[in-house]
């Protein structure tokens, strides 16, 4: 897969404050790229630069092979933004809002109408085509906010925390539509500080903090960066040294110790759990409970940035 977006050494300052600091990353075509970072990390600022909503001090950005500075208008026509803050005309209906923004991308007449209706259906707002934005619930406004960003079928969809403050139903609807958008061929940059979402839908993830890139890669790659070990904890009574030695000698097992429970450190891709259980059962050890503590993005994030996500 080719790179659809390439950001290279991007620096953006507000006066003396550097909001984005020498940031580089690539987004591959047709992937959902997660942009993860605590509040104030510079996520929105980066996205605004890509969407040409604010200038930048240094760096190179290209979208779909077009340079942002030199071919601004082409780049703009490729992008649809779902901004972090809801951006709608309160007194216009759902249809009128979407239609206005879509018409700015050259859609008109029947093509416009069908694109608008499709976008509204996409986010599950087909029933409120005529409802004014101001009369909608927060979750519905969020979904309308998305519809306004995608109706013109952009190749690159940039979503800045699209699920902040939405009800579970709307969140589910939004997740579904993002998956559908990717199936339809869009490339998506997805920003969030909500871990499970990012884990759920992103192919690759960049973790940024203080305007800098802390790490990037697939979820698995990120997890490995911090540790490649997971711990299997088994609830059982104290066992013989003999059994412990047997487990230690199993391939891939790194460490075994007993502290009230049996704790076994193994690589992330360990496949011998059944062998261990078999050994315990064969020796008449009653097993009460078993759990694996794999590192997750949450702990990875903490390790990489020293911060908890909000």
* Alpha-carbon distances, residue 195 vs 117, 150, 160, 219, 308 (angstroms): 32, 24, 14, 11, 11
* 22 Ramachandran zone, left/alpha/beta (phi>0; psi -120 to 50): left
* Residue 143 within binding range of ligand ADP, rule CB under 6 A: no
**Alpha-carbon span 87 to 82, nearest angstrom:** 9
Residues in region 152-211 near ligand ADP by CB under 6 A: none
Q: At 286, give phi and psi (nearest 5°).
A: -75, 125
> Within 13 Å of residue 33, how many CA atoms lie on the same side as its CB?
25
Binding mask 125-164 for other proteins (x = CB under 8 A): -------x---------------x----------------
Reduced to 3 states (helix: H, G, I; strand: E, B; else coil), residue 294 is: coil
Nearer to ligand ADP, 45 or 97 (CB): 45
Shortest approach of ligand ADP to residue 27 CB, angstroms?
A: 17
Question: What is the C-alpha separation between 217 and 4, in angstroms, rounded?
Answer: 16
- Of 41 and 51, which CB lies nearer to other proteins in the complex structure? 51
List all residues 6 or more positions away from 122 whose beta carbon is below 8 Å from its beta carbon.
147, 150, 177, 180, 181
The entry of ligand ADP, other proteins, Mg ion, none that residue 10 binds, CB within 5 to 8 Å by partner kind: none
Neighbouring C-alpha atoms within 13 Å toward the C-beta of 279: 18
Cβ proximity to ligand ADP: between 47 and 264 the closer is 47
Burial level of 167, CB count in 10 A (0-12/13-18/19+)? middle
Partner interacting with residue 73 (select from other proteins, ligand ADP, Mg ion, none; CB below 5-8 Å by kind): other proteins
Using rule CB under 8 A, residue 103 touches other proteins:
yes
φ, ψ (nearest 5 deg) of residue 101: -65, -40
Is the Cβ–Cβ distance between 122 and 44 less than 8 Å? no
Options 44, 46, 62, 173; binder of Mg ion; rule CB under 5 A = 44
Kindly tell me the sign of the dihedral angle through the C-alpha atoms of 178, 81, 30, 190: negative
Q: What residues from 44 to 73 belong to the interface with other proteins (CB under 8 A)?
A: 48, 51-55, 73
Binding-residue pattern over the window 7 to 26 for ligand ADP, x denoting contact by CB under 6 A: -------x--x-x-------
The number of residues that bind ligand ADP (CB under 6 A) is 11
Q: Which does 247 bind (CB under 5 to 8 A by kind): ligand ADP, Mg ion, other proteins, none?
A: none
Q: Which of 97-105, 229-237, 240-248, 269-277 is the region at the interface with other proteins (rule: CB under 8 A)?
A: 97-105
85 vs 308, which CB is nearer to other proteins?
A: 85
End-to-end Cα distance, the chain = 33
Subset of residues 24 to 63 that bind ligand ADP, contact rule: CB under 6 A: 37, 39-45
CB of 11 to ligand ADP, least distance (A): 13
Binding positions for ligand ADP, rule: CB under 6 A = 14, 17, 19, 37, 39-45
* Residues lying near other proteins in the complex (CB under 8 A): 48, 51-55, 73-74, 76-77, 79, 81, 83, 85-92, 96, 99-101, 103-106, 132, 148
């Amino acid at each position: 897969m080719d790179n659809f977006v390439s950001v290279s050494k991007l620096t953006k300052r507000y006066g003396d404050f550097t909001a984005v600091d020498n940031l580089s990353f690539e987004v591959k075509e047709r992937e959902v790229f997660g942009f993860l970072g605590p509040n104030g990390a510079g996520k929105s600022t980066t996205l605004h630069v890509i969407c040409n909503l604010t200038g930048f001090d240094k760096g190179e950005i290209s979208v779909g092979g077009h340079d942002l500075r030199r071919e601004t208008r082409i780049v703009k026509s490729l992008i649809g933004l779902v901004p972090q803050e809801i951006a709608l005309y309160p007194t216009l209906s759902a249809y009128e809002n979407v239609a206005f923004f879509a018409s700015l991308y050259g859609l008109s007449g029947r093509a416009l109408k069908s694109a608008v209706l499709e976008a509204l259906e996409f986010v599950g707002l087909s029933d409120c085509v005529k409802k004014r934005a101001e009369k909608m619930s927060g979750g519905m406004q969020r979904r309308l906010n998305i519809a306004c960003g995608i109706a013109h079928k952009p190749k690159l969809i940039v979503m800045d925390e699209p699920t902040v403050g939405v009800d579970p139903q709307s969140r589910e609807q939004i997740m579904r539509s993002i998956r559908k958008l990717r199936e339809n061929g869009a490339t998506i940059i997805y920003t969030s500080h909500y871990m499970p979402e990012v884990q759920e839908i992103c192919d690759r993830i960049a973790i940024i903090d203080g305007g800098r890139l802390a790490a990037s890669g697939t979820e698995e790659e990120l997890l490995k960066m911090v540790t490649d070990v997971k711990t299997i904890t088994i609830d059982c009574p104290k066992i013989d040294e003999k059994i412990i030695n047997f487990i230690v000698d199993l391939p891939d097992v790194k460490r075994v110790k007993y502290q009230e429970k049996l704790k076994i450190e193994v690589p992330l891709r360990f496949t011998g759990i059944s062998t261990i259980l078999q050994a315990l059962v064969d020796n008449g050890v009653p097993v009460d409970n078993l759990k694996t503590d794999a590192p997750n993005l949450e702990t990875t994030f903490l390790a990489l940035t020293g911060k908890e996500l909000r």
